[in-house]
Amino acid sequence: MSKGASTQPSVDCSVPMSSCFSGRCFDTLAMRDLDRRSAAAQGLNEFDLMLHAGGAAFNYLSAIWPGATRFAVFCGTGNNGGDGWVVARLLLESGVSCDVFLHGSADRISGAALLAYEAWRQIAPERERSSDDWLNSARQGEEYDVLVDALVGIGFRGPARSEFDALVEGINGASIPVLSLDVPSGLNADTGAVDSSVIQAHSTVTFIAMKPGLLTGRAPDVAGRLILDSLDTPQFILDEVPAVAINWARDLPPAFLRPRRPTTHKGVCGHVLVVGGNTGMGGASILSASAALRSGAGLVTLATRSEHLCAAISRQPEVMARDIDCPESLFSLLEKASVVVVGPGLGVDDWSGACLRIVLESHKPLVVDADALNLLATDMSFPRVTAGSVLTPHPGEAARLAKVPVSNIEADRLYWAKALARQYASSIILKGAGSIIASDKEGCEPNICSAGNSGMATAGMGDVLAGVVGALLAQGYDAPLAALGGTVAHANAGDLAWREHGIGLTATDVINHVGAVLTPGIDTAR
């Protein structure tokens, strides 16, 4: 870190590293076990492991901001603060300026963190300052290039005290890049929920293994560029401890890597029936039908209001479009279908209710989306969803299905996805940044999809996802695998579309990429 050099990040941070990470994720209890096992396997004690973590963080500071010369480290009194004391010492030893602000009383520092604190004190030109000193400064943060957040780690549970909230808001208000250690302070490492204030990190370096709360909930907004450093933890240690979730990014599940036989024909690739498109809402069902075709379904039939038939055939002539102005027309169509996607543009009137009832009574494997979910949530007289189906709620729809406030869903997305999967004996895709895919199968960990981007926050994306999942079900994948593979393929197709269109991408742009993402051997490297 040389004086006078640029303090701009030296690495490309436009794409969060979490979009590249695939693998097992561990909750707080498991992480504490992993810490102990990792240290023992390497012949280290707790303080040695802390030195490794602080050293890794220092290396990333040097790599991301090589020209920075003025640092402030914010330490708490626990082990996360201990990592911060190590970073502060290494910064001083490298010849740059580093001030430390302590939140809490130094009398509460103990164990390995106390050893790190005492090692810092031996070379520090002056004692640490208090967090109040930061808050009371007239030129808050102006003299620093980079801030380091080592306030609280994976054990944080909110809501926080007002003094903590004030400090976090002060750090965020300084508009200086922040490197968070392990997790941004204020973020729940298990759920990604935020109960009070949370550090807005430019980058987060997390240690040993990935935490689910860094990949879903509020995490994509606050964690910034996500870096995982294993601290040389042996792989067998990671394999011994049960994971709480599995994250998927760019890689599809291995089951999707099988090529089609040369003799494959449309009759063996499944027949998807899309039911939806009420008056004025035909586009949703048309998008879903198009997505099913692009995802490999052999045959796709669209059952919709007659007013949408011309538009459907004009847009996608390969789709067999049928009018169901009379819902009883569905009976003959259902006989031929192997899978039904119900809900895109369905509406919530008498016609839509009649259509949904007929579909549910067919006992076909289903993808239940959009207004079909809302109808199920508000009318208990509907037949049960066929076991082994896939439901695709966003948080609002999930809250209606579970009869809880949306805030409950967002407070623990993993829990509620699993709860809904058990309730409906099906697979659940709880949509959003860091979508959760959960199965009702006993002992099956939920999955997280960290791919995707903010450009996908536009009309029709859910309709496309429903069509993709329906096509995979029709091709013989079971519900858990169709839900997982469909979600990951949809998100990666969205990332390809993002590179072409940015925030102007549309659901149609995603449809145009999904087939290539699902096809083994086609290079979609970005």
CB count, 10 Å around CB of 473? 31
Q: Confidence band (pLDDT; 50, 70, 90) for 160? A: low
Q: What is the pLDDT of residues 433-485, one digit of tens each?
A: 999 999 998 888 999 999 999 999 999 999 999 999 999 999 999 999 999 99
| Consecutive H or E run containing 117 | helix 111-123
Task: Indicate whether 389 and 485 sit together in one domain.
Answer: yes
Task: Indicate whether 277 and 235 sit together in one domain.
Answer: no
Concatenated DSSP letters of 44-113: --HHHHHHHHHHHHHHHHHHH-TT--EEEEEE-SSHHHHHHHHHHHHHHHTT-EEEEEESS-GGG--HHH
Q: What is the pLDDT of residues 297-354, one digit of tens each?
A: 999 999 999 999 999 999 999 999 999 999 999 999 999 999 999 999 999 999 999 9
What is the pLDDT, as a whole number, of residue 14?
35
Task: Indicate whether 327 and 218 sit together in one domain.
Answer: no
Task: Indicate whether 56 and 115 sit together in one domain.
Answer: yes
> Rounded distance, CA 366 to CA 386, Å?
7
Q: Confidence band (pLDDT; 50, 70, 90) for 8? A: very low
Task: Indicate whether 292 and 323 sit together in one domain.
Answer: yes
> Rounded distance, CA 509 to CA 1, Å?
43
Task: Indicate whether 279 and 183 sit together in one domain.
Answer: no
Residue 361 lies in a domain: yes
* Span 215-229, average pLDDT: 95
Residue 451 lies in a domain: yes
Task: Indicate whether 419 and 379 sit together in one domain.
Answer: yes
Task: Indicate whether 144 and 225 sit together in one domain.
Answer: yes
Total structural domains in the chain? 2
Residue 317 lies in a domain: yes
Is a pLDDT exceeding 90 seen at residue 140?
A: no
Q: What six digits make up the tokens of 175?
A: 């508009």
Is a pLDDT exceeding 60 seen at residue 17?
A: no
Q: Confidence band (pLDDT; 50, 70, 90) for 15? A: very low
Q: What is the pLDDT of residues 269-299, one digit of tens each?
A: 999 999 999 999 999 999 999 999 999 999 9
Q: What is the pLDDT of residues 198-214, one digit of tens each?
A: 999 999 999 999 999 99
What is the pLDDT, as a whole number, of residue 138?
52
Task: Indicate whether 28 and 174 sit together in one domain.
Answer: yes
**Strands 203-207, 178-181: parallel, antiparallel or unpaired by DSSP?**
parallel
The backbone torsions φ and ψ at residue 291, rounded to the nearest 5 degrees and listed phi first, read -65, -35
Q: The domain spanning residue 62 has which CATH number?
A: 3.40.50.10260
Q: What is the average pLDDT value for the chain, to the nearest integer?
A: 93
> Rounded distance, CA 259 to CA 511, Å?
20
Task: Indicate whether 96 and 25 sit together in one domain.
Answer: yes
Residue 520 lies in a domain: no
Residue 4 lies in a domain: no
> Rounded distance, CA 385 to CA 425, Å?
8
Residue 525 lies in a domain: no
Coil vs helix vs strand at 315: helix
Q: The domain spanning residue 282 has which CATH number?
A: 3.40.1190.20
Per DSSP, 454 falls in state: G
Coil vs helix vs strand at 156: coil
Is a pLDDT exceeding 50 seen at residue 12?
A: no
N residues, the chain = 526
Q: Confidence band (pLDDT; 50, 70, 90) for 139? A: low
pTM of the full structure: 0.94
Residue 256 lies in a domain: no
Q: What residue type is 334 in one-letter code?
A: L
Task: Indicate whether 210 and 272 sit together in one domain.
Answer: no
What is the pLDDT, as a whole number, of residue 1?
53
- Full strand arrangement of the beta sheet holding 366-368: 23-25, 245-248, 447-449, 435-438, 427-430, 390-391, 366-368, 339-342, 271-275, 299-304, 320-323
Coil vs helix vs strand at 373: helix
Q: What six digits make up the tokens of 66?
A: 């090589």
Concatenated DSSP letters of 5-43: S--S-SS--SS-GGGT--EEE--HHHHHHHHHHHHHHTT
Q: What six digits make up the tokens of 430?
A: 């709880």
The backbone torsions φ and ψ at residue 186, rounded to the nearest 5 degrees and listed phi first, read 105, -10
Greatest Cα-to-Cα distance within the chain, rounded to the nearest angstrom: 83
Residue 23 lies in a domain: yes
Task: Indicate whether 288 and 201 sit together in one domain.
Answer: no
Q: Which domain holds residue 143?
A: 17-245
